[in-house]
Chain A
Amino acid sequence: MKKYYGLDLIREMSCAFAPSGCEDGLRDFVRAQVEDTCDGLTEDKAGNLLVRIKGRGVGYDADKPARLLIASHMDEVGFMIKEITPEGYLKFSVVGQIDPRVLCGRHLRIGDETHAVKGVIATKAIHLQTAEERTHATPAGKMYVDIGAKNADEASKLVSVGDYAVFDSDFVTFGKDDRFMKGKALNSRAAAAALIEVIRDLHGAATALPFDVYFAFTTCGEIGIKGAAVAANTVKPSLCITVEGTEANDLPDVGASSVVCRLGDGVVLPLADQGTLFDAGMIRATVSAAELAGAKTQIRRGISGWGEAAAVQQSMAGVRTMELALPGRYARTASVVALREDYVTLRELLKNLLRDWKF
């Protein structure tokens, strides 16, 4: 398979069809991107891809090597088809947390990673809406997808109950000097793309690390069942960094004191989420390393979300864990917006951290 780099890599990953529980295609893609530049690849029974970079540097204990786990989830929010109506429309369940307000009128791909048909989430025309409907979100359970079929028979030839669907959203760069990116699943997939680029960099690096690094591309990060916990049980790391997307709300109608993080202010360091408090020592070390390297970081001023880090932290007898996140606006919509500079900052900060990390 062709190797992708930088923006092309982010594009390919953003456009991949991989909702929670349907990560096979993306896992094969990631495997192909890193298989020539690592010291070992395994897939575990939870569907995680584990990529090993072996340590060799000064102080490396070959018998009992220290292990660092860096995890990023592969999956995205999406939909599962639960019913084909007599008229040939598809009713769906939401996979992951999606605000129903971002669904009406969106284009979808329905099927799986190898074969998908196109559809749109239908919306009753404004002329036919009641006053209540015009001002309130339609619940997802009342929506349906139009794939063009005229009845259930025609629809059943194209789609089966249990099929997945994802937003059909192309990757776009826009804004001044094309600094901004738009795509589905964009900031979490860009975070995973950063891991791929770090793997390649480590593999070619002149100075080897004094510890083993396991990169885990995990499953089901969006639905609360964390593949990352399984990856931690397998790797048994001394430390873990989860690398994620996080929602930025730096909009002019959000009061400054309510803004949790901003595009352009660099890598986001959450101190806590709804699942846990992260390792303060690791966060301090990261902030110092970032200052030395001139990499922008920002502390997240909010505790929303429930990322993979908590699951890893509570695996085995406990693992020291922190999270690095790429800020993105309109998370879990068809049009996540992120900044290219923030991606580069994340990638370079990860490289710096690995080079200088003292266990």
Chain B
Amino acid sequence: MTLKELIVSLCGLMTVSGSERSATAGLQELIGGAFDEMRVDAVGNHLFIKRCGRKDAPLILVDTHLDEIGMMVTGIKEGGFLSVINIGGVDTRILPAGEVVIYGKEKLYGVVAAQPCAGDSLKPIHEMLIDTGYSKEELEELVPLGTPVGFRPVYDELAGGRLAGKAFDDKACGACAVFGIDAVPAHELAGDVCFLFSTFEETGMLGARVAGFGLAPDYALVMDVTHAKVPEAEEYTLSPMGSGISVCASAVTNRRLTRMSQEVLRAQKIPFMVDVCATGTGTNANVLGLAGEGIPTVLWSLPIKSMHSAAEVLFMDDAKALAQGVRAFVRSKEIAEVFGK
């Protein structure tokens, strides 16, 4: 499977926060083969471990979050419509006339109603309706309240190696992690590697905090998406797409590990730029550093556009750089010597 195929397959799974367990079988099938062990913890974190074969080796954590933003059914209306509420920060601007999948007792297709209303205001999400083509009575059978609703997975290859679709945040980084780890023979790993597909990032970074405590790794690489530079957000300093990995400089990440990770990338000629998130990153790096007895953490990001929409855009060259970066990171003896036990 190519990296692009793995990205599309992983991102196509429904993993709306709170429903991560519904993807367990799919994950096992797609990436289980790259690891020695897999387990799901008490809050739905999916942990995949690849052993280096040495006793007392350091434990390296590579974290990307499994969950994606989405919706949850809150009501069933006359005429076959559902009302929903957002799970995480859903961009309501993309919803009218958008297509969704309702993960009830059966998988149902739905269209978000786009009824014209006065002025130029947007309805808040709890006033939006999903058209299902079923009657109210049928829906009461098929769709229990609380049923997760995800964007319909539609992936388009754009020009110049760009890919458009849903949930690159953050399973695209997950695909890069798996690709990078899988490329290293076990005996060349700098330690045992735990790849964590963490839960509830979009709703408060609960999963990573718990997993960090439970695993107590020696050091951690967190990978998440970041905003690529777009013309209508000039007031923000954003990473231009095509810059490779965005290595985060922040007070909440470990300064030495961050610098050493840059050395590793430089040595391998893997493109990267430094992305400044001075006092907070909006990612699991915020909580992992302080999990358990504290974990030295570095954050690498993949720049994407239109985050939290059904048509996020990534650049495959950046994704490839990220996968190569992971490969170099988990092999790095230098980092393991400093941060390993």
For chain A residues 227-286, which have a beta carbon within 8 Å of chain B?
A: 249-254
Say yes or no for B307: interface residue by CB 8 A criterion: yes
For chain A residues 97-149, which have a beta carbon within 8 Å of chain B?
A: 99-102, 104-107, 117-129, 133-139, 142, 144, 146-149
Residue of B nearest to A178 (CB): B133
Q: Given A105-B309, A154-B159, A176-B135, do A335 and B114 touch, yes or no (CB 8 Å)? A: yes
Say yes or no for B306: interface residue by CB 8 A criterion: yes
Report yes or no: A253 in contact with B162, Cβ–Cβ below 8 A: no
Extra pairs beyond A120-B156, A123-B309, A158-B159 (12, CB < 8 Å): A101-B122, A118-B158, A120-B164, A122-B230, A148-B159, A148-B162, A175-B109, A176-B133, A179-B133, A182-B109, A253-B115, A253-B129
Q: Please report the C-alpha to C-alpha distance between residue A99 and residue B118 in the assembled complex, in whole angstroms.
A: 11
Report yes or no: A329 in contact with B91, Cβ–Cβ below 8 A: no
Q: Please report the C-alpha to C-alpha distance between residue A100 and residue B230 in the assembled complex, in whole angstroms.
A: 20
For chain A residues 41-90, which have a beta carbon within 8 Å of chain B?
A: 85, 87, 89
Interface of A is mostly: loop
Report yes or no: A118 in contact with B156, Cβ–Cβ below 8 A: yes
Report yes or no: B306 in contact with A120, Cβ–Cβ below 8 A: yes
Say yes or no for B2: interface residue by CB 8 A criterion: no
B18-26, B32-40, B78-86, B257-265: which lies at the interface: B78-86
In the A-B complex, list the 6 residue pairs whose CB atoms are closest, starting with the nearest. Answer: A175-B133, A148-B158, A105-B94, A148-B162, A333-B97, A180-B133
Query: In the complex, which residues of chain A have a beta carbon less than 8 angstroms from the beta carbon of B159?
Result: 117, 147-149, 154-155, 158
Q: Please report the C-alpha to C-alpha distance between residue A135 and residue B121 in the assembled complex, in whole angstroms.
A: 6
Which one of B97, B129, B236, B306 lies within 8 Å of A123 (CB-CB)? B306
Q: Mark B36-66, 1 if CB is under 8 A from A, else 0.
A: 0000000000000000000000000000000
Report yes or no: B109 in contact with A174, Cβ–Cβ below 8 A: yes
Say yes or no for B242: interface residue by CB 8 A criterion: yes
Query: In the complex, which residues of chain B have a beta carbon less than 8 angstroms from the beta carbon of A182?
Result: 99, 109, 111
| Nearest Cβ on chain A to B249's Cβ, whole angstroms | 19
Say yes or no for A171: interface residue by CB 8 A criterion: no
Q: Please report the C-alpha to C-alpha distance between residue A142 and residue B120 in the assembled complex, in whole angstroms.
A: 14
Say yes or no for A355: interface residue by CB 8 A criterion: no
Query: In the complex, which residues of chain A have a beta carbon less than 8 angstroms from the beta carbon of B127?
Result: 253
Query: In the complex, which residues of chain B have a beta carbon less than 8 angstroms from the beta carbon of A330?
Result: 96-97, 111, 113-115, 131
Report yes or no: B160 in contact with A136, Cβ–Cβ below 8 A: no
Say yes or no for A197: interface residue by CB 8 A criterion: no
Query: In the complex, which residues of chain B have a beta carbon less than 8 angstroms from the beta carbon of A193?
Result: none
| Nearest Cβ on chain A to B220's Cβ, whole angstroms | 23
Query: In the complex, which residues of chain B have a beta carbon less than 8 angstroms from the beta carbon of A135?
Result: 121-122, 124
Say yes or no for B241: interface residue by CB 8 A criterion: yes
Q: Mark A199-223, 1 if CB is under 8 A from B, else 0.
A: 0000000000000000000000000
Report yes or no: B313 in contact with A174, Cβ–Cβ below 8 A: no
Report yes or no: B307 in contact with A137, Cβ–Cβ below 8 A: no
Say yes or no for B185: interface residue by CB 8 A criterion: no
Query: In the complex, which residues of chain B have a beta carbon less than 8 angstroms from the beta carbon of A121?
Result: 311
Query: In the complex, which residues of chain B have a beta carbon less than 8 angstroms from the beta carbon of A329?
Result: 111, 113, 115, 131
Report yes or no: A333 in contact with B158, Cβ–Cβ below 8 A: no
Say yes or no for A337: interface residue by CB 8 A criterion: yes
Say yes or no for A334: interface residue by CB 8 A criterion: yes
Q: Please report the C-alpha to C-alpha distance between residue A102 and residue B92 in the assembled complex, in whole angstroms.
A: 11
Residue of A nearest to B238 (CB): A128
Say yes or no for B305: interface residue by CB 8 A criterion: yes
Chain B interface (Cβ < 8 Å from any Cβ of A): 77-81, 89-94, 96-99, 108-116, 120-122, 124, 127, 129, 131-135, 138, 154, 156-162, 164, 227, 230-233, 236, 241-242, 282, 305-311, 313
Residue of A nearest to B157 (CB): A118
Query: In the complex, which residues of chain B have a beta carbon less than 8 angstroms from the beta carbon of A142?
Result: 232
Q: Please report the C-alpha to C-alpha distance between residue A334 and residue B111 in the assembled complex, in whole angstroms.
A: 10
Q: Given A87-B231, A105-B91, do A251 and B113 touch, yes or no (CB 8 Å)? A: yes
Query: In the complex, which residues of chain B have a beta carbon less than 8 angstroms from the beta carbon of A333?
Result: 96-97, 114
Q: Please report the C-alpha to C-alpha distance between residue A155 and residue B162 in the assembled complex, in whole angstroms.
A: 13
Report yes or no: B122 in contact with A137, Cβ–Cβ below 8 A: yes
Q: Please report the C-alpha to C-alpha distance between residue A137 and residue B158 in the assembled complex, in whole angstroms.
A: 26
Q: Please report the C-alpha to C-alpha distance between residue A118 and residue B164 in the assembled complex, in whole angstroms.
A: 10
Q: Please report the C-alpha to C-alpha distance between residue A150 and residue B164 in the assembled complex, in whole angstroms.
A: 15
| Nearest Cβ on chain B to A172's Cβ, whole angstroms | 6
Report yes or no: B120 in contact with A249, Cβ–Cβ below 8 A: no
Q: Given A85-B231, A101-B96, A150-B241, do A107 and B307 touch, yes or no (CB 8 Å)? A: no
Report yes or no: B94 in contact with A104, Cβ–Cβ below 8 A: yes
Report yes or no: A154 in contact with B113, Cβ–Cβ below 8 A: no
Residue of A nearest to B88 (CB): A126
Say yes or no for A342: interface residue by CB 8 A criterion: no
Residue of B nearest to A181 (CB): B133
Q: Please report the C-alpha to C-alpha distance between residue A158 and residue B162 in the assembled complex, in whole angstroms.
A: 14
Residue of A nearest to B132 (CB): A175
Say yes or no for A23: interface residue by CB 8 A criterion: no
Report yes or no: A136 in contact with B121, Cβ–Cβ below 8 A: yes
Report yes or no: A150 in contact with B97, Cβ–Cβ below 8 A: no
Which one of B91, B97, B113, B313 lies within 8 Å of A106 (CB-CB)? B97
Residue of A nearest to B235 (CB): A128
Report yes or no: A124 in contact with B311, Cβ–Cβ below 8 A: no
Residue of A nearest to B169 (CB): A125
Report yes or no: A252 in contact with B230, Cβ–Cβ below 8 A: no
Query: In the complex, which residues of chain B have a beta carbon less than 8 angstroms from the beta carbon of A104?
Result: 91, 93-94, 309
Query: In the complex, which residues of chain A have a beta carbon less than 8 angstroms from the beta carbon of B313?
Result: 120, 122, 146, 148
Report yes or no: B158 in contact with A120, Cβ–Cβ below 8 A: yes
Query: In the complex, which residues of chain B have a beta carbon less than 8 angstroms from the beta carbon of A129?
Result: 91
User: Which one of A85, A249, A337 has the highest number of Cβ atoms from chain B below 10 Å of its Cβ?
Assistant: A337
Which one of A117, A125, A174 lies within 8 Å of B133 (CB-CB)? A174
Say yes or no for A323: interface residue by CB 8 A criterion: no
Report yes or no: B79 in contact with A252, Cβ–Cβ below 8 A: yes
Which one of B90, B160, B310 lies within 8 Å of A154 (CB-CB)? B160
